[in-house]
Amino acid sequence: MAENEATLLSDLTSGVLTLTLNRPKVNALNAALIQALQQALRLAARDAQVRCILLTAKGAVFSAGQDLLEMQQAQGTSFRQHLQQTYNPLILQLRQLEKPVLAAVNGPVSGAALGIVLACDLRIAAESARFVVGFLGIGLAPDSAVSLLLPALIGLGRATEFAFSNAPIHAEQALAWGLVNRVVPTAELENQARAYAQALTLGPLGAFGLAKRAFNRAVLPNLEDVLDYEAHLQDIAARLPEHQEGVAAFLEKRLPHFQPTAESGQATASK
C-alpha cells in the first residue's frame, strides 16, 4: 500500500457513512488506523447527514486485530496505557454513539477487532466470516470488552471454550448463537449490508439513540469498569513469559510452547 493511501476509507451516501478498514493484507490495527476510526466516529456523532454507520473492511480478512509488530516497537508503553488511548475509548464511542452502527464482516476477525465488531449494534456476516478470540493464543487476556460482550452474546460457557481453544466460530454457528444477525453469501455481502444500512436510515434516529442508552444501562452498565480491569489484567499478562512465547510463535508461524512457570502461577493468583 502506498504511504499516502488512507488506512480508513470513508464514504457518505444517502445517510450511510461507510467506514472501510484498508490496511492490506489482514487489516491489522495500528495507531493511525485506530485514531482515524476515533476521529470518524466523533465527526459522525455531530453530522446530521449521517443516520447510520456501516463498518467493513477491504480484502478477504476483516481484521487480524492489533498489529503485533507495532506493539513490539513501542518500547516503554504499557499495555494498560495503550488500551486507555486506543481500544477502550473506541469501544465506548461505538456504544455511546446514538446512531445505528452495523458491522459487515467480510472474513476472519480476531482479537481487538473482534471487540470492535461486538461493540457494534448489529452484525451481518459473509459466509466466509470467522470469529476468533485470539488473545490467549499469544498469552494475553481478552481486552476491547471481549470479556463482557462475547459472553453477553453467546453465553459464558461458549465464550470460555472459544477463548481457551482459540478455535474459530464459523458464520453459521455465529448466527445460531446470536453472535451475528444475518449471514449472506460472500459475494452478496456488500450489497446486502448497504441495503440493511439504508433501511436503518429510514428509522426514528432519536428513538434509536434512546434505545441504545437503554440497552447499555440494562445489559452493559459496567462497560467502563470492565474495560479498565481488562487493561489492568493485560498489563500483568504482557509481562509473563507466556506472552513472549506466544508472540514469537505467531511471528515465526509455529505453534506456541507454553510451559508452567512461577510467574504464571502468581498472575493467576493476582487480583
Between helix 223-238 and helix 146-154 the angle, nearest 10°, is 120
Q: Alpha-carbon distance 55 to 120, whole Å?
A: 9
Position 198 scores a pLDDT of: 98
Domain of 111? 8-188
Residue 206 lies in a domain: no
Q: How confident is the model at residue 17 (pLDDT cuts 50, 70, 90)?
A: very high
Residue 22 lies in a domain: yes
Residue 210 lies in a domain: no
Task: Work out the mean pLDDT of the chain and round it to a whole number.
Answer: 93
Residues with Cβ within 8 Å of 71's Cβ and at least 6 positions away in sequence, in order, are 82
Count structural domains, the chain: 1
Residue 146 lies in a domain: yes
Q: How confident is the model at residue 252 (pLDDT cuts 50, 70, 90)?
A: confident
The pLDDT tens digits for 43-80 are 999 999 999 999 999 999 999 999 988 887 877 779 99
Q: Which range (70-79, 94-103, 119-128) has the least confidence?
A: 70-79
Position 244 scores a pLDDT of: 86
Higher pLDDT, 41 or 254: 41
* 94 C-beta neighbours (distance < 10 Å), count: 23
Residue 249 lies in a domain: no
Is the pTM higher than 0.85?
yes
Q: Alpha-carbon distance 18 to 56, whole Å?
A: 7
Position 1 scores a pLDDT of: 42
Pairing of strands 182-184, 16-21: unpaired
Residue 123 lies in a domain: yes
Q: Alpha-carbon distance 43 to 49, whole Å?
A: 11
Residue 37 lies in a domain: yes
Residues with Cβ within 8 Å of 56's Cβ and at least 6 positions away in sequence, in order, are 18, 19, 20, 21, 62, 103, 104, 105, 106, 189, 190, 193
C-alpha cell at 67: 498489529
Alpha carbon distance, N-terminus to C-terminus of the chain: 43
* 250 C-beta neighbours (distance < 10 Å), count: 17
DSSP assignment string, 33-53:
HHHHHHHHHHHHHH-TT--EE
Residue 50 lies in a domain: yes
Position 259 scores a pLDDT of: 82
* 69 C-beta neighbours (distance < 10 Å), count: 12
Position 269 scores a pLDDT of: 43
Position 267 scores a pLDDT of: 53
Position 235 scores a pLDDT of: 93
Beta-ladder partners of 21: 8, 57
Q: Alpha-carbon distance 114 to 6, whole Å?
A: 22
CATH number at 86 reads 3.90.226.10
Position 61 scores a pLDDT of: 98
